[in-house]
Homo-oligomer: A and B are copies of this chain.
Amino acid sequence: MNAKFIVGIDLGGTNLKIAILDLKYNILEKKVLNTKKYGKKEHLILAIINSITSFFKNNNLKKKDILGIGIGLPGPVDNKRGIVHFLPNVPGWRKVYLKKVLEHKLNLPVFLDNDAKLMTIAEYKLGKAKGFKNVLCLTLGTGVGSGVILNRKLYRGEDNASGEIGHMPINERGERCNCGGIACLEAYIGNNKILREARQLFKRNISLEELSAKAFEHNKLALNIWQKVGRRLGTALVGVVNLLNLDAVVIGGGVANAGTILLDKVKETVNRQSMRVQARRVKIFKARLGNDAGLIGAAILVKEQKLE
């Protein structure tokens, strides 16, 4: 194997991140674009292609130096055939043969997967999930997703659609979710919902960063919001922990930056409300790899070609 580098891409509803990594998953160069600036799917794909070619030029890289391109996408992906089914938070993507398009344009092998699964595999190989046998890795953001490691392997399900913890109902009745469900976890703790609640309480627009900062300063309103998020996430996790007798839960994504305030409430809820044996077993951590988990997972996908 002569190739020494991998292109990792993390396409999110807000940011498009593109990076060159070495075979040990160190990030050598990274570029962050604003996803929303590229209205049409075609423009976004073009931006990806242009970013990659300029990376190659700037670093004097040849095609033969590159093992392949890995891409994480925020929605259901056919990882075997390289098709994006649709992206709930990026308009215009429906049945996109992204692997085929990019391989044709770039003449390099391309691998796709769901972003929560890539984040999970990154935390499992290099982060907080390492060494555990049965783990759920969550990513909290606009969407609330997860990946499931069972018996030390990524559990995919027949449609590669496992892990949708954001669409577990946490109440019998409640708001209808975009997915068609009722009272889905995501409708309570997705970024949009948190921001809306914060706006109502503070009577002005307030960012998640500010909301976290306020909580660290012991602002009661902010603390209250994060504790409610923690309790609700905890309620969903009680169900998963009792069902799967998990060894660990790893929590990542932007919202996880509320840090110990959120995490402590999740732990408290899971410890108090899960069954004794399950509660004693499960450890709950904040993710280690932070914002780069998706990029690293994309690179792992390329290096291992097929993730289990």
Chain A interface residue count, Cβ-Cβ cutoff 8 angstroms: 50
Q: Given contacts A168-B243, A171-B172, are A76 and B161 in contact (CB under 8 A)?
A: no
* Residue from B133, B172, B276 in contact with A232 in the complex, judged by beta carbons closer than 8 Å: B172
Contact flags A218-246 to B (C-beta < 8 A → 1, else 0): 00000000000001100110111011111
Check B169 against A235 for contact (C-beta < 8 Å).
yes
A278 within 8 A of B: yes
Point out the residues of chain B lying under 8 angstroms from A242, CB to CB: 164-165, 167-168, 181
* Residue from B161, B165, B181, B246 in contact with A157 in the complex, judged by beta carbons closer than 8 Å: B246
Distance, CA A71 to CA B275, complexed state (A): 23
Contact flags A238-269 to B (C-beta < 8 A → 1, else 0): 11101111110000000000000000000000
Distance, CA A48 to CA B76, complexed state (A): 52
Point out the residues of chain B lying under 8 angstroms from A217, CB to CB: none
Point out the residues of chain B lying under 8 angstroms from A159, CB to CB: 245, 277-278, 281
Min distance, Cβ A235 to any Cβ of chain B, angstroms: 5
Distance, CA A86 to CA B168, complexed state (A): 30
Which residues from 104 to 159 on chain A have a C-beta closer than 8 Å to any C-beta of chain B? 133-134, 146, 148, 150-151, 155-159
Min distance, Cβ A243 to any Cβ of chain B, angstroms: 6
A-side residues, CB < 8 A to B, are 76, 85, 133-134, 146, 148, 150-151, 155-165, 167-172, 179-182, 231-232, 235-236, 238-240, 242-247, 272-278, 281
Known: A159-B281, A167-B239. 15 other contacts (CB 8 A): A85-B277, A150-B155, A151-B155, A159-B277, A162-B243, A164-B243, A164-B245, A167-B238, A167-B274, A169-B170, A169-B235, A180-B275, A180-B276, A181-B242, A240-B243
